[in-house]
A and B are shown apart, each in its own frame.
Chain A
Amino acid sequence: MELKANIPAGDLADMWERHKFDMKLVSPANKRKHTVLIVGSGLAGGAAAATLGELGYNVHCFCYQDSPRRAHSIAAQGGINAAKNYPNDGDSVWRLFYDTVKGGDFRAREANVYRLAQVSVNIIDQCVAQGVPFAREYGGLLANRSFGGAQVSRTFYARGQTGQQLLLGAYSALERQVAAGTVDMHPRTEMLDLIVIDGQARGIVTRDMVTGAIETWFGDAVVLGTGGYGNVFYLSTNAKGCNVTATYRAYKRGAAFANPCFTQIHPTCIPVAGEHQSKLTLMSESLRNDGRVWVPKRQGDTRAPGDIPEAERDYYLERKYPSFGNLSPRDIASRAAKEACDDGRGVGPGGRGVYLDFADAIKRLGEDTIRERYGNLFEMYERITDENPYRVPMRIYPAVHYTMGGLWVDYNLMGTIPGLFVIGEANFSDHGANRLGASALMQGLADGYFVLPATIGNYLGGRKFAAVDASHAEARAAVAQVKDRVARLLAVQGTRTVDSFHRELGKLLWEHCGMARNADGLRTALQRIPELRAEFWRDVKVLGTGEELNQSLEKAGRVADYMEFAELMCRDALERNESCGGHFRTEYQTPEGEAKRDDEHYAYVAAWEYAGDGVPPILRKEPLEYEHVKLATRSYK
């Protein structure tokens, strides 16, 4: 396997423009002859499906939810970045590019990130034209705010529901194409395998989640916009259905998986309440604009927060990172919270929490202003915890939120299997080892609206595609394997529920491959995961049949993939002997406890190639070169 990034030659600033001109076009009459399969209907998949439909391609779009409007992009709260520089505070495409490369701790590809920053401005125009009700000023212009890790105000938002509004924009564009007959939408349909014919991605195998029917679909290209794999930890801020299956199945068919150990732990989530916890809820990072993070100075201080005098509080982010303070990037803020709690100064049940306090902001701005800015978030917090954050500080703790790793793609967003495109969170490309706040929505929409629709034409144009159907040997083999797996899961008839296995796997990973990792812990996990996987296949209990709506069976298939994928994550984390971004190896830190990168040996993308079950995967390296942003130690002090 060769990793060819296909970065066009020449100057960064006009690279994308020139590339768009150099790429092949598909004539309007020929577009409808090409069928494109798009899996996932979130910001990336939904936007791509709508746009390819508008262009005249014949599109099939699949999602596991009952409607494309429910993809997990819907839950993003804070905002979307764009280099519009409307507030005239010194922002530019170059600065957004620079911030993103630096924020990613120099593990992202410069050319991709520059294009992302360029395209960001078109996204806002597009969304406004669709009727996305962004926040506005009294004069009628768009409002901006600053967001975690940025010193300019470049974040556009729609209250605390930006993801919802952007997704509903993409969804309405998608439904317009469904009505126009260019997109066939397949909800409640889960992709269970990729069909590769003559070395090209040509189809997928799906399961109808209502009838259980296993079906095949064919096209000239397959696009995965299937999101991240954060749920491998069981507890995360992802929706319950989010899963790694589509990307992992593609990996097993030959697509390289890049940087699986790069996971983002978000600093501001509601702490775990008990063993029954089924998911974690994020509190938007925008809260850090006005909230101050603190813990008691004294260990084991159990006084109510209001009884702890100012002098006995440690505003540790302001203390350690005076220039960014409470707005320090996510990885840094998360780790600092963990350190405070590990030090015995955590608050709330189990001591796994820190305060996010709005008392000063309420004093300064008044309760009404705070309510206007964060009202819905405060309500959500109160609904979940039964505490009123206008009166007592919120309690927060880090939680798994986003995965920077994903299938490896080149500049054209194509994976190592020709014809397999990967967009949004599902690919690895733009965020390096750490994603900045409000950049996920930007990347999803950039890929879906603007990048993929251009690059897929270059692939489809000038290629001949032989007709393929379900009778092809590769298709029959994939279907047989999918059916066999379903049958095996149902045949185990063991004693433990799927969730109990998932929870155990999650705890293991959180312990050994979470916010801080080290070689010993990773080796322990690498030994334990195969054992747990064997127990799963020996003892899992899945009731019912494959020919009906069977939610246990759906979960079992996903957890079976997590059981394999978790090993890949730990292997990747063990191989990367450095700390960078969200990947913090305790062996590699500065005396002050900051991440210590090793650019000499690890300035590369680790892309893993599947080599067969029970055989270690092969590590392929794509070297990262920084010509425009000088490699520097990230400092937010």
Chain B
Amino acid sequence: MNLTLKVWRQPSGEARGRLVSYAAQGISADMSFLEMLDVVNEGLIEKGEEPIAFDHDCREGICGSCGVMINGMAHGPMAGTATCQLHMRSFQDGDTIVVEPWRARAFPVLRDLVVDRSPLDRIMQAGGFVSIATGNAPDAHAILVPKEAAELAMDAAQCIGCGACVAACPNASAMLFTAAKVSHLGLLPQGQPERDRRALGMVTQMDLEGFGGCTNYGECTTACPKGISLENIARMNRDFRTAALRARPESAGAGGAP
């Protein structure tokens, strides 16, 4: 099939960007979206034009590197599918496809379709872990975990950190990403001791990074390639509220004051 692409080109973070039209010709329905971009890039290089930069790595929907807005939809039209797993059979001959980077103030463009998602790592640093050092953990069977809790935790833990939830949200909120981690650990017995600190820390960092708030549009869960559910946001809100009510200055807590 033959397609027209309108692709966001921006040589660097400081430069001005614009949409540029390219013809994508002889595209097979069996190609992935990124393979289609590969073909376009090979053609551009041969003509002496710089190829379109885009993030990608595993190309099997799990590393979370890839992700672009395709006709205004994060990761394109197919539900539960990352850009790399989207195949061209989702499009028709003659289509015009608009390809843009994730759009969010917290994700500045580095070049073309490549954005800086390091704020997500910093949210993780603010509490997305269980504080346990390597070595001498108790036997894995020492603490029983109900199957249901493990399954729910896994549902949340599947998040690939691609940032589609942020890009899809009219407020550019990172609530779904943050909630997935807060939920995953909050559902497991191992996550209980730090449950309050985690919710407070991660939500605070999320705000500091310049992400917007959640106003229940639900675009995030629709765009999410792993189908992370809104229930996680409800769970995080509950944890955050409880934690905020229980919170006391760290020093007082540490000293065991009433």
Say yes or no: is A621 at the interface (Cβ < 8 Å to chain B): no
A379-394 Cβ-contact flags toward B at 8 Å (1 or 0): 1100110100000000
Q: From A128, which residue of chain B is reached at the shortest CB distance?
A: B140
A380 and B85 CA atoms in complex are apart in Å by 8
Interface stretch, picked from A271-279, A290-298, A470-478, A596-604, is A271-279
Closest approach, in angstroms, between the C-beta of B112 and any C-beta of chain A?
8
Given A172-B128, A276-B35, A384-B85 in contact, is the A67-B134 Cβ separation under 8 Å?
Answer: no
Residues of A near B157 (CB, < 8 A) are 133, 158, 165, 168
Give the contacting residue for A172; candidates B42, B49, B62, B130; CB below 8 A. B130
Give the contacting residue for B161; candidates A67, A178, A240; CB below 8 A. A67
Number of A-B contacts (CB under 8 A): 216
Say yes or no: is A75 at the interface (Cβ < 8 Å to chain B): yes
Say yes or no: is B64 at the interface (Cβ < 8 Å to chain A): yes
Interface stretch, picked from B147-155, B214-222, B228-236, B244-252, is B147-155
B-facing residues in A225-246 (Cβ within 8 Å): 237, 239-241
A276 touches B147 (CB 8 A): no
A67-111 Cβ-contact flags toward B at 8 Å (1 or 0): 111101011000000001010000000000000000000000000
B132 touches A129 (CB 8 A): yes
Q: From B146, which residue of chain A is reached at the shortest CB distance?
A: A140
A171 and B118 CA atoms in complex are apart in Å by 14
Residues of B near A360 (CB, < 8 A) are none
Closest approach, in angstroms, between the C-beta of A536 and any C-beta of chain B?
15
A130 touches B117 (CB 8 A): no
Say yes or no: is B95 at the interface (Cβ < 8 Å to chain A): no
Given A69-B64, A239-B63 in contact, is the A497-B45 Cβ separation under 8 Å?
Answer: yes
A172 and B123 CA atoms in complex are apart in Å by 11
A422 and B160 CA atoms in complex are apart in Å by 28
Say yes or no: is B255 at the interface (Cβ < 8 Å to chain A): no
- What size tier do the contact residues of chain B reach? 35 or more
A-facing residues in B148-200 (Cβ within 8 Å): 150-151, 153-154, 157-158, 160-161, 184-185, 188, 190-191
Residues of A near B55 (CB, < 8 A) are 66
B-facing residues in A1-37 (Cβ within 8 Å): none
Residues of A near B60 (CB, < 8 A) are 75, 237, 279, 281-282, 380
A172 touches B129 (CB 8 A): yes
A159 touches B59 (CB 8 A): no
A543 and B59 CA atoms in complex are apart in Å by 24
A187 touches B150 (CB 8 A): no
Residues of B near A274 (CB, < 8 A) are 28, 30-31
Say yes or no: is B48 at the interface (Cβ < 8 Å to chain A): yes
User: Size of chain A's interface in residues, with CB distance under 8 A?
Assistant: 81
A497 and B53 CA atoms in complex are apart in Å by 15
A176 touches B129 (CB 8 A): yes
Say yes or no: is A467 at the interface (Cβ < 8 Å to chain B): no
B154 touches A133 (CB 8 A): yes
Give the contacting residue for A277; candidates B35, B46, B64; CB below 8 A. B35
Say yes or no: is A266 at the interface (Cβ < 8 Å to chain B): no
Given A128-B190, A549-B114 in contact, is the A51-B38 Cβ separation under 8 Å?
Answer: no
Residues of A near B103 (CB, < 8 A) are none
Say yes or no: is B83 at the interface (Cβ < 8 Å to chain A): no
B139 touches A125 (CB 8 A): yes
Give the contacting residue for A140; candidates B58, B126, B147; CB below 8 A. B147
A551 and B143 CA atoms in complex are apart in Å by 47
Q: From A129, which residue of chain B is reached at the shortest CB distance?
A: B137
Q: From B134, which residue of chain A is reached at the shortest CB distance?
A: A51
Given A133-B157, A137-B147, A140-B145 in contact, is the A386-B130 Cβ separation under 8 Å?
Answer: no
B45-87 Cβ-contact flags toward A at 8 Å (1 or 0): 1101111010111111111110000000000001011000101
B128 touches A136 (CB 8 A): no
A65 and B116 CA atoms in complex are apart in Å by 11
A449 touches B134 (CB 8 A): yes
Closest approach, in angstroms, between the C-beta of B55 and any C-beta of chain A?
6
A319 and B110 CA atoms in complex are apart in Å by 56
B57 touches A239 (CB 8 A): yes
Closest approach, in angstroms, between the C-beta of A549 and any C-beta of chain B?
4
A125 and B135 CA atoms in complex are apart in Å by 9
A130 touches B130 (CB 8 A): yes
Closest approach, in angstroms, between the C-beta of A118 and any C-beta of chain B?
14
Say yes or no: is B254 at the interface (Cβ < 8 Å to chain A): no
A241 and B30 CA atoms in complex are apart in Å by 22
Residues of B near A54 (CB, < 8 A) are 133-134
Q: From A140, which residue of chain B is reached at the shortest CB distance?
A: B144
A277 and B59 CA atoms in complex are apart in Å by 11
B150 touches A273 (CB 8 A): no
Give the contacting residue for B138; candidates A129, A281, A282; CB below 8 A. A129
A136 touches B134 (CB 8 A): no
Residues of B near A541 (CB, < 8 A) are 45-46
Say yes or no: is B9 at the interface (Cβ < 8 Å to chain A): no
Say yes or no: is B34 at the interface (Cβ < 8 Å to chain A): yes
Given A70-B63, A70-B65 in contact, is the A136-B38 Cβ separation under 8 Å?
Answer: no
A493 and B83 CA atoms in complex are apart in Å by 32
Residues of A near B57 (CB, < 8 A) are 65, 70, 72, 239-241
B129 touches A173 (CB 8 A): yes
Give the contacting residue for A134; candidates B56, B81, B132, B150; CB below 8 A. B150
Residue with the greatest number of chain A CB neighbours at <10 A, chosen from B50, B57, B147: B57
Say yes or no: is A511 at the interface (Cβ < 8 Å to chain B): no
Given A51-B134, A75-B63, A549-B12 in contact, is the A69-B161 Cβ separation under 8 Å?
Answer: yes
Q: From B26, which residue of chain A is reached at the shortest CB distance?
A: A276
B134 touches A75 (CB 8 A): no
Interface residues of chain A, those whose CB is within 8 Å of chain B, are 47, 50-51, 54, 65-70, 72, 74-75, 84, 86, 122, 124-131, 133-142, 158-159, 161, 164-165, 168, 171-173, 175-176, 178-179, 185, 187, 210, 237, 239-241, 273-274, 276-279, 281-282, 379-380, 383-384, 386, 449-450, 453, 495, 497, 499-500, 541, 543-544, 548-549, 551-552
CB-based closest 4 A-B pairs: A140-B144, A129-B137, A172-B129, A179-B125
Interface residues of chain B, those whose CB is within 8 Å of chain A, are 11-12, 28, 30-32, 34-35, 38-39, 42, 45-46, 48-51, 53, 55-65, 78, 80-81, 85, 87, 89, 110-111, 114, 116-118, 120-121, 124-126, 128-135, 137-141, 143-147, 150-151, 153-154, 157-158, 160-161, 184-185, 188, 190-191
22 inter-chain pairs at a CB distance below 8 angstroms, sorted by A residue, are: A50-B134, A66-B116, A67-B120, A75-B60, A122-B137, A125-B139, A128-B137, A130-B132, A135-B154, A138-B146, A139-B144, A175-B124, A178-B125, A179-B126, A240-B57, A241-B57, A278-B32, A380-B85, A383-B87, A450-B135, A541-B45, A548-B11
